[in-house]
Amino acid sequence: MKTYDPQAMYSEWTSQLSNQNNWQEWMMPAKAFLEMPMRTMLKDLGAELDTATLSKLQSDYLQEFGGLWQNFLSSSPPVFDDKRFSSSEWHSQSTHSYTVSSYLLNARFLMSMADAVDAPEKVRQKIRFAVQQMIDAMSPANFLVSNPEAQLKLIESKGESLVKGISLMLADMQKGRISQTDESAFQIGKNVATTAGTVVFENKLFQIIQYSPLTTSVHQRPLLMVPPCINKFYILDLQPENSVVRYAIEQGHTVFLVSWANPDESMSDVTWSDYIEDGAIKAIHVVQKISKQEKINAFGFCVGGTIISTALAILGSRGENPISSLTLLTTLLDFSDTGILDVFIDEEQVAKRESSIGAGGLLPGRELASTFSSLRANDLVWNYVQKNYLKGEAPPPFDLLYWNADSTNLPGPMFCWYLRNAYLEDSLKIPNKLRVAGELLDLGKIDAPVFIYGSREDHIVPWQAAFASTFLLNPKRKNRNRFILGASGHIAGVVNPPAKKKRSYWMNAEICTESEKWMAGATEYAGSWWPEWASFLAEHAGKLIKAPTKAGSASYPPIEAAPGRYVAVRAE
């Protein structure tokens, strides 16, 4: 099975279309569809498109296109509703409005063809994704010759917008990525990742930050936060008003946080077991020793949740139970539903990764960032092509997008193990199938109440997949688990402070094996889910004691002020 690059397919397709001499033939993709690389893709993927279905789709298309053409000849303006074409310039001129209407018709036709393909669901998903990438790339809003907003800006600025756009594009070419924000407006430790604290431990994999208390009394048991290693920790500490870290401190918790190293060539041989043994398990033991507490509260976000859960299961196999509670935010333990990311995972692609970096090497952070951007191409790619390059508008400062551009590399062996055993083979949930850090892995060995959170519109960790952890963990005592569903997506759903009074969340005390059944019985509440988490955490954090006056201990003296050196290392 071959792997296809949507951008390469788009370039070849548009090249073929541009050679069409007849304007009407250019506007109708039926013939071009069969001549473009997609025909080869269907063949290579073992997919077919029934002749009768294709004929019906073509007939419907020609009928709709004929009606559109008749309206054009009679000067009857078409009506369309798409945020990419919401400005008056797209509606005020018939040429542009019919260009948009034709494009949207073509898009519907192509997606209908992709949906009609006779193939296994995973293959159909790959085809739909590739077609959607091409459709998004072909939007008339992406080209100066067909974008009336950019043309008007060009005229009004007397060409300055084009000059500025070319300048922004050349600068981005030097970076190797599209700028989504004014990166010069931010500095780590100055206006992002600003919560006061001290680095109290470091090894080659990570630093531990112990944050300064904000209350005179704190809960006896500390909180260890493990963020994802595929990006920087300060998504949990962007600004004081939307910092998960600061919120936990304000609730009277002594917070320790893992700040992962941004791997370079010296870490090219690091494995998944290293991240568990020398990463999460080491962090647990250090926090226990500094706090002098046998039990701590553990927290994992995204891949960080997978890492801390694996570590706790391994410790369970060794007879250790170091936690009084576990919090998992948008975390996959059951990988049977990985959403749109599934289009990138198959045996051929995983084997290719293994042959290139499985024995040593790095997965560049830039590649990960591009992959995630492609999942929402209109918002995270083409939107900035239009504004930055076509209109010459420099992007404004935005802390979240600054973080999004601050990529991290991954060690090849670690990444390949995770890709195969978790995403491809879905083996983490199977007791005793995998050996990690010298022990057989069984998530059932985690013995503590668990707070599980999913985001309803999450395209990276579908909420149903996050929900699946409720019956993987504490299998004999599921009533110890608590699931909350938040509105919005992977990041915005998590970073939703109560003071903003935004969005909503759903709760249902009944834990069942079917996510849709849970949702049917859930009640929606306005605002942030953070107070629900704070209540859960307080139940398991022990009595209140005097807040520590200094960070670390005799064995773990302060190293440097937060946020530390590791988070400042950029993948470039």
Could you tell me how far CA 414 lies from the centroid of its own chain? Answer: 19
Distance CA 96, CA 317 (A): 65
Residue the block writes with tokens 């999460």? 280
Distance CA 32, CA 26 (A): 8
Q: Which burial class, exposed, middle or buried, applies to 159 when counting CB atoms under 10 A from its CB (0-12, 13-18, 19+)? A: exposed
| Bridge partners of residue 450, in order along the sequence | 326, 481
Structure tokens at 80: 């369309």
Residue the block writes with tokens 């935004």? 502
Structure tokens at 520: 């049917």
Structure tokens at 313: 């299961």
The answer to whether the CB of 284 falls within 8 A of the CB of 437 is no
Residue the block writes with tokens 């647990």? 284
Could you tell me how far CA 76 lies from the centroid of its own chain? Answer: 43
Measure the CA angle with vertex 284, ends 422 and 207; round to 5°: 90
The closest alpha carbon to 3, from 372, 331, 344, 507, belongs to 344
Which residues participate in catalysis according to the annotation? 302
Strand, coil or helix: 421: helix
42 Cβ contact partners less than 8 Å away, ≥ 6 residues apart? 48, 49, 117, 127
Beta 504-507 vs 523-526: how paired, if at all? antiparallel
Distance CA 126, CA 523 (A): 35
DSSP secondary structure letters along 316-334: HHTT---EEEEEEES--S-
